[in-house]
């Protein structure tokens, strides 16, 4: 058996390094950039048929705060091209190193929240079809998408163009966890709420059909489910606060009753207003109708008010009371609700269109950071059009900025938690992340995560001086099982010339696809960065090779040091090291593994080649090889192909 391990992104040369540094350090190119004191509002405008309206200008909008006119200081009309046919095929292999350097213009961001706590197993199947329909029809290749379950089994983020297959694979893990109650004595959540609120008419109706009401138990269970779902929605909207472009949350749920006096309702709406996020509610109640509703369906419309124009409003079914809480959350955040008997295809297109054609308005607030709620009013000065935007905001300090002394339930600072949850990487502190799959021991494999921090951008960093105090968190999650691994720490790295400080941790992981995230914060300035890296942990079967270490740093021993970069300075010595395992032994108990390599440069010309030669076991019996690669004569991109062959197999 022969293994070929091409290292296709090995770049050598100061020219490549310069290009990478300039991308990491430059601010993003934004057409619209609101100042710190400005309030930003996303505005969707539709015609009588519910279609989004492009082509409006600043003069056609009127904006008020608390009823007082405000000047529109900044304005941008956004129109994202619709998807063109099928999405591109996902890359054949994942990148060896991931960076949080910004690429191009900000994309749209979607968070699909699958509310498995409010879905029964039977309802989960059509609800999964809703998610699959969104993945297939609504997204463009550069959209950022997070797929999340309220029960905590799934939290995965990706860019659609490179992670579409991961999202489709995750839909198989979307299950319903609410046990169905088909007993004669079944009480709905709404009935339990009304009885809890001393509604005698509902109590009388329920009592006539039951001898033992049991409303207290049903109400307590309902409160617990709602609390978890609403708190997770707040966590999701908090995580979206730092993302640029249009931000939307799609809640796929059976819905929940409305009890607005509870703090969780106010918190999720305030968080959505703060983050400028619209929440859309897709009602899964009604079984398979949700996935099969067609254009002939005639959903009943519930208007937001007499000024509502067209068909956008709210599509809602006959069991409104059981889902009224989810409907109100959607309306109050600038989204809408879709009932189980609505035209699903039309609803998906409408949500996608509202994220493709919209307007960004920014203005000076009346009283910056006074801690109070302020109502926002937006009008369009053209007949026959409807306007949808968030209804207000709280003038307080945005979450996730600087140090927040209040820890979350998992003991992480809110800023760290939001950065770990966010679909988009934070480029405030340049980072890179790589994964090195080592040999296995038992049913799990040692995987070393290596992060690099460009601390030179920090104000207190001096070459060679440990003046930087950073805290970091590394977390990994399995796509197949939801298994998690994470660790946090504080370090005092030195900034040495030519090398970024390394953050290295080893985790024991099962086979499959994993997603790792590194979050770093400078303790003094509060400056943060985050980076996401997807990688494969192969099943430990047969003849195999560890992830090759390619490095310009060698510790005494000699011991090659794993790094998180594939660009090296011209003239710097570069070392490669790998290990093989799973080889067969001959009748004499001795294995025979041969290894060689080929290094090619620009134009495909061969710079160095070594025919396969036997790998001699080390003192510990391991089969490892270290190669000192020849220094290329000029800057450019170089490809290294390693081969290993089990001669006995």
- ∠ CA 321-354-337, rounded to 5°: 5
18, pLDDT greater than 50: no
Share of the chain above pLDDT 70, in %: 75
Which has the minimum average pLDDT: 177-186, 213-222, 390-399, 473-482?
Answer: 177-186
| 468-472 CB contacts, 8 Å cutoff, 24+ apart | 468/492, 468/493, 468/494, 468/495, 468/501, 468/522, 468/524, 469/522, 469/523, 469/524, 470/520, 470/521, 470/522, 470/523, 471/416, 471/520, 471/521, 471/523, 472/503, 472/518, 472/519, 472/520, 472/521
Q: Following CA atoms 257, 261, 265, 267 in sequence, which dihedral angle do they give, to the nearest 10 degrees?
A: -170
pLDDT band for position 194 (cuts 50, 70, 90): low
How many of the other CB atoms lie within 10 Å of CB of 250? Answer: 26
Dump pLDDT digits (tens) for 264-282: 998 999 899 888 899 999 8
- Hey, which bits of 403-500 come out as E strands? 431-441, 444-453, 470-478, 484-491
For the ranges 123-132, 230-239, 312-321, the one whose mean pLDDT is highest:
230-239
- Give residue 531's pLDDT band: very low, low, confident or very high (50, 70, 90): very high
Residues 380 and 387: their CA atoms lie apart, in Å, by 7
Listing from the earlier edge strand, what are the strands of the sheet with 39-46? 74-79, 357-363, 39-46, 386-388
pTM of structure: 0.81
What is d(CA 215, CA 198) in angstroms, rounded to the nearest whole number?
11
H helix runs in 526-614, sequence order:
none
Residue 508 pLDDT > 50? yes
Residues 381-391: pLDDT tens digits? Answer: 999 998 988 88
Q: Does the structure show a pLDDT above 60 at 319?
A: no
Summary mean pLDDT of the chain: 78
Query: Which three-class secondary structure state does DSSP give residue 60?
Result: helix
Taking 60 as the threshold, does the pLDDT of residue 166 lie above it? yes
How many angstroms separate the CA atoms of 580 and 546, rounded?
6
Q: Which residue has the higher pLDDT, 102 or 191?
A: 102
**Cβ pair 147, 114 in contact under 8 A:** yes
Per-residue model confidence as pLDDT tens digits over 427-464: 989 999 999 998 776 788 999 999 999 877 776 665 55
Angle of helix 215-239 versus helix 320-332 axis, rounded to 10: 20
Find the mean pLDDT for residues 231-254.
91
In this predicted structure, what is the pLDDT of residue 344?
A: 67
Q: What is the pLDDT of residues 117-145, one digit of tens each?
A: 988 888 888 888 888 888 888 888 888 99
Report whether 361 contacts 63 (CB < 8 A). yes
Answer yes or no: is pLDDT of 12 > 60: no
With tokens 């080649």, the residue in question is 609
pLDDT at residue 70 tops 80: yes
Q: What is the mean pLDDT of residues 249-277?
A: 89
Beta strands per DSSP E along 23-165? 39-46, 61-65, 68-70, 74-79, 97-99, 109-114, 144-149, 155-159
Cα of 223 vs its chain's centroid, Å: 28
Strongest mean pLDDT among 116-125, 459-468, 495-504, 632-641 = 116-125
Q: What is the pLDDT of residue 91?
A: 55
Q: 531 or 29, which is more confident? A: 531
| Percent share of the chain, pLDDT over 90 | 32
Cis peptide before 558 (omega within 30 of 0): yes
How confident is the model over 455-491, as pLDDT tens digits? 777 766 655 555 678 888 999 999 999 999 888 777 7
Domains in the chain (CATH in brackets) are 1-13+542-649 (2.60.40), 108-394 (3.40.50.410), 425-538 (2.60.40.3880)
Structural Rg of the chain based on CA atoms:
28
pLDDT higher than threshold 90 for residue 217: no
pLDDT in tens, 79-94: 887 766 555 555 557 8
Q: Please tell me which residue, 307 or 606, carries the higher pLDDT value.
A: 606
So what's the pLDDT on residue 499? 64
* Cβ-contact 222, 193 below 8 angstroms: yes
Residue 378 pLDDT > 50: yes
Confidence of residue 158 (pLDDT cuts 50, 70, 90): very high
Q: Quick one: pLDDT at residue 27? A: 30
Res 248: pLDDT: 93
Calculate mean pLDDT across residues 551-566.
89
Count CB-CB contacts under 10 A for residue 44. 24
Query: Which range has highest mean pLDDT (24-38, 306-320, 399-413, 540-554)?
Result: 540-554
Q: Output 306 or 358, whichever has higher pLDDT.
A: 358
> What is the arithmetic mean of pLDDT over 287-291?
33
Q: How many CB atoms lie within 10 A of CB 82?
A: 12
């Amino acid at each position: 058996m022969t293994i070929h391990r091409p290292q296709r992104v090995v770049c050598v040369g100061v020219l490549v390094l310069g290009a990478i540094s300039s991308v990491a350090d430059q601010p993003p190119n934004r057409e619209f950039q609101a100042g710190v004191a400005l309030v930003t509002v996303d505005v969707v405008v539709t015609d009588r048929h519910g279609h989004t309206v492009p082509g409006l200008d600043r003069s056609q909008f009127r904006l008020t705060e608390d009823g007082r006119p405000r000047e529109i200081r900044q304005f941008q009309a956004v129109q994202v091209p619709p998807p063109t046919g099928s999405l591109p095929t996902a890359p054949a292999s994942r990148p060896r190193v991931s960076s949080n350097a910004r690429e191009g213009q900000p994309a749209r961001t979607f968070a699909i929240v699958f509310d498995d706590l409010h879905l029964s197993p039977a309802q989960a199947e059509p609800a999964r079809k809703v998610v699959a329909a969104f993945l297939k029809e609504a997204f463009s290749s550069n959209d950022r998408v997070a797929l999340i379950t309220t029960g905590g089994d799934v939290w995965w983020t990706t860019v659609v163009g490179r992670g579409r297959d991961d999202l489709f694979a995750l839909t198989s893990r979307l299950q319903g966890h609410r046990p169905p109650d088909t007993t004669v004595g079944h009480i709905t959540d709404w009935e339990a709420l009304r009885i809890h609120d001393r509604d005698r008419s509902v109590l009388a109706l329920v009592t006539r059909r039951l001898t033992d009401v049991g409303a207290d138990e049903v109400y307590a269970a309902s409160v617990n489910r709602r609390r978890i779902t609403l708190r997770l929605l707040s966590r999701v909207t908090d995580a979206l606060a730092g993302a640029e472009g249009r931000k939307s949350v799609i809640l796929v749920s059976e819905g929940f009753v409305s009890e607005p006096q509870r703090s969780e309702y106010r918190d999720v709406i305030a968080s959505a207003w703060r983050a400028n996020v619209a929440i859309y509610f897709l009602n899964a109640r009604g079984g398979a109708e949700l996935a099969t509703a067609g254009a002939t369906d005639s959903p009943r419309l519930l208007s937001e008010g007499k000024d509502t124009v067209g068909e956008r409003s709210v599509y809602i079914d006959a069991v409104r009371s059981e889902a009224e809480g989810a409907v109100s959350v959607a309306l109050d955040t600038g989204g809408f609700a879709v009932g189980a008997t609505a035209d699903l295809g039309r609803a998906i297109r409408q949500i996608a269109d509202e994220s493709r054609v919209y307007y960004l308005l920014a203005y000076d607030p009346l009283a910056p950071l006074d801690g109070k709620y302020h109502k926002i009013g937006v009008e369009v000065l053209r007949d026959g059009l409807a306007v949808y935007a968030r209804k207000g905001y709280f003038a307080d300090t945005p979450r996730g900025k600087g140090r927040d002394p209040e820890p979350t339930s998992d003991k992480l600072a809110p800023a760290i938690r939001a950065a770990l949850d966010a679909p988009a990487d934070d480029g405030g502190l340049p980072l890179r992340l790589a994964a090195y799959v080592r040999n296995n021991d038992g049913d799990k494999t040692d995987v070393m995560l290596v992060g690099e921090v460009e601390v030179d951008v920090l104000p207190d960093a001096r070459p060679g001086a440990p003046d930087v105090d950073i805290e970091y968190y590394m977390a990994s999650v399995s796509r197949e099982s939801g298994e998690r691994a994470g660790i946090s720490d504080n370090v005092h790295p030195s900034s040495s010339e030519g090398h970024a400080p390394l953050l290295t941790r080893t985790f024991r992981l099962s086979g499959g696809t994993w997603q790792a995230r590194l979050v770093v914060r400078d303790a003094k300035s509060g400056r943060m960065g985050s980076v996401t890296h997807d990688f494969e942990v192969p099943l430990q079967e047969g003849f195999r090779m560890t992830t090759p270490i390619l490095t310009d740093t060698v510790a005494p021993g000699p011991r090659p040091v794993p790094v998180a970069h594939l660009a090296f300075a011209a003239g710097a010595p570069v070392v490669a090291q790998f290990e093989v395992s799973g080889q067969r032994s001959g009748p004499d108990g001795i294995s025979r593994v041969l290894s060689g390599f080929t290094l090619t440069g620009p134009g495909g010309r061969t710079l160095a080649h070594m025919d396969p030669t036997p790998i001699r076991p080390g003192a510990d019996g391991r089969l490892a090889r270290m190669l000192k690669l020849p220094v290329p004569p000029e800057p450019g991109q170089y490809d290294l192909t390693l081969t290993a062959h089990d001669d006995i197999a």
